[in-house]
């Protein structure tokens, strides 16, 4: 029975918006409509005749509406197999009418949780009848069409119009698949709420919003983004974000959120690592200081500011080719300048990142961890050397540590107060990372005398502080924890260097 004429429909929805055209079509096509409660009233107001579910079942809605449609005459009409003689005989015996179309949505559970409602209100938004109807109709897609969300109303309206109230097996199977998507997402949201504070070690994530990317990390790889990206950014200009853009944007936003909005912070990233970071007297000043750290790598980079982009800053930024610029706001004059390049991506950031977990697939499973939300502050410093740090050095050390936290390990960051001088990134040896940073600082004309050094992890040997001292580095920040910490401390003490330890490692792989 591939082609089936819709002769009867059960409609029970929470959201009534955009339902009117569907009701008009069903009425015009002579479809028998079953409904209950507020939906019944809404349909009758459209001038359509409705058979109340209570009249079908000869049973009232009970327990404050918790039980309305859970009845054999409803579920039997959905589930009985039209090509099964035994099912047809039983349907006739028990006077169970066929239901060919089920239009049901679910109580807004996620929205109720997000609103901060009481637990009792949240529990009442766990749908029972609706999700049961959806699963039943989706299971029997050979005979029944199921519509499980108002998002599907336009598709249903088109289908009913184009096929004069009939559906074929491909239509019904597609709607059924979408219904199981909706029901599984709903159950995941409920589980994640109910499991809070419970020792139930499970990994369940569901994202229904998706965006196909131009390609993945490379052109031969397919890529998608899953999630409500529009809630985080408004894209004001440019081509579609690519997979690599998104990876860099995530790194850029994570880094810039380390800095207070009381200061003008600016960062330039390439392949998720910062090649320039600075705090300035203005957005323009912060950008120029960040750009000075590596005028080569900035080409084609991802830029981020924690302050609105001014027209003055835009004039400077416009001289650089970059892929993406992220900021909380853009002045009108700045937008006019920056939009001159049609492919230049401009993102207005609307809110901070809220995720508490990170995960990725590897081997034959998934690894999950808490996001690294620990940020080093001078109040966390434990002075390890005889020589104390100055207030200026403390500020520089905090600044450098923030950058090291968001740089691929092994990393060494060299900085002065409010400016990244250079960093060594992703090296297999911490010594190599330091040497890379030193070479880069010199390449771009920086004097390392009086600079500070940050390391994402401890020094197993004193070689890094020895090399840093030879270049004029005056103060060091590291987590500590090596059984040979004292070797590095002793060197600093004998060479008038200051070192603080934080006790917090910031590996980033």
Catalytic residues: 139, 271
In the block, tokens 């709420």 appear at: 193
Cα→Cα distances 430→378, 434, 458, 502, Å: 24, 6, 9, 18
- Using CA atoms, how far apart are residues 166 and 3, in angstroms rounded to an integer? 7
Give the pair of three-digit tokens for residue 103.
């239009």
Give the pair of three-digit tokens for residue 297.
């790598």
- Using CA atoms, how far apart are residues 386 and 490, in angstroms rounded to an integer? 9
CB 467 within 8 A of CB 440: no
Q: Which residues pair with 274 in a beta bridge?
A: 269
CB 470 within 8 A of CB 342: no
- Using CA atoms, how far apart are residues 9 and 31, in angstroms rounded to an integer? 7
Cα→Cα distances 422→78, 202, 426, Å: 67, 42, 13
Residue 259 CA to its chain's centroid (Å): 21
Sign of CA dihedral 387, 389, 393, 399: positive
Helix, strand, or coil here: 364? coil
- Using CA atoms, how far apart are residues 492 and 475, in angstroms rounded to an integer? 9
Query: How does 315-354 read in b/e, with b if 16+ C-beta sit within 10 Å?
Result: ebbbebebbbbbbeebbeebbebbbeeeebbbbbbeeeee
Q: Which residues pair with 383 in a beta bridge?
A: 500
What is the DSSP secondary structure assignment for residue 269, as one 8-state letter? E
> Which regions of 256-354 does DSSP assign to beta strands (E)?
264-270, 273-280, 302-305, 324-327, 345-349
């Amino acid at each position: 029975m591939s082609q089936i004429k819709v002769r009867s429909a059960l409609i029970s929805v929470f959201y009534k918006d955009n339902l009117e055209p569907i009701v008009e079509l069903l009425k015009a096509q002579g479809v028998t409509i079953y409904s209950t409660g507020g939906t019944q009233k809404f349909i009758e107001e459209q001038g359509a005749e409705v058979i109340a579910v209570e009249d079908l079942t000869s049973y009232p809605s009970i327990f404050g509406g918790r039980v309305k449609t859970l009845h054999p005459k409803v579920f039997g009409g959905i589930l009985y197999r039209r090509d099964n003689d035994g099912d047809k005989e039983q349907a006739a015996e028990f006077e169970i009418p066929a239901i060919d179309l089920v239009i049901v949505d679910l109580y807004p559970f996620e929205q109720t949780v997000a609103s901060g409602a009481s637990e009792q209100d949240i529990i009442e938004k766990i749908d029972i009848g609706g999700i049961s109807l959806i699963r039943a109709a989706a299971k029997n897609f050979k005979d029944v069409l199921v519509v499980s969300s108002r998002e599907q109303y336009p598709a249903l309206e088109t289908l009913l119009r184009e096929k004069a109230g009939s559906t074929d097996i491909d239509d019904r199977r597609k709607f059924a698949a979408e219904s199981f998507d909706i029901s599984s997402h709903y159950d995941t949201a409920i589980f994640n709420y109910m499991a809070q504070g419970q020792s139930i070690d499970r990994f369940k994530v569901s994202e229904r919003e998706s965006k196909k990317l131009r390609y993945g990390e490379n052109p031969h790889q397919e890529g998608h983004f899953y999630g409500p990206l529009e809630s985080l950014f408004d894209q004001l200009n440019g081509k579609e974000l690519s997979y690599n853009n998104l990876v860099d944007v995530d790194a850029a936003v994570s880094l810039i959120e380390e800095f207070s909005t009381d200061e003008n912070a600016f960062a330039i990233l390439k392949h998720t690592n910062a090649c320039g970071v600075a705090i300035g007297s203005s957005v323009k000043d912060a950008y120029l200081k960040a750009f000075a750290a590596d005028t080569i790598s900035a080409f084609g980079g991802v830029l981020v500011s924690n302050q609105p982009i001014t027209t003055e800053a835009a004039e400077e930024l416009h001289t650089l080719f970059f892929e993406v610029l992220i900021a909380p706001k853009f002045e009108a004059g700045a937008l006019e300048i920056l939009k001159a390049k049609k492919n230049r991506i401009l993102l207005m950031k609307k809110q901070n990142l809220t995720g508490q977990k990170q995960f990725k697939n590897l081997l034959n499973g998934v690894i999950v961890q808490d996001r690294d939300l620990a940020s080093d502050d001078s109040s966390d410093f434990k002075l390890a050397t005889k020589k104390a740090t100055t207030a200026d050095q403390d500020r520089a050390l905090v600044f450098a540590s923030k950058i090291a936290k968001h740089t691929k390990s092994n990393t060494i960051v060299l900085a002065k107060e409010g400016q990244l001088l250079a960093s060594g990134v992703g090296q297999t040896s911490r010594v190599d990372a330091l040497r890379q940073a030193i070479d880069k600082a010199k390449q771009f004309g920086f004097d390392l005398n009086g600079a500070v050094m940050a390391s994402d992890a401890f020094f197993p040997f004193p070689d890094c502080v020895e090399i840093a001292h030879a270049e004029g580095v005056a103060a060091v920040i590291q987590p500590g924890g090596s059984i040979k910490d004292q070797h590095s401390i002793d060197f600093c003490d004998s060479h008038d260097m200051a070192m603080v330890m934080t006790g917090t490692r910031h590996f980033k792989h």
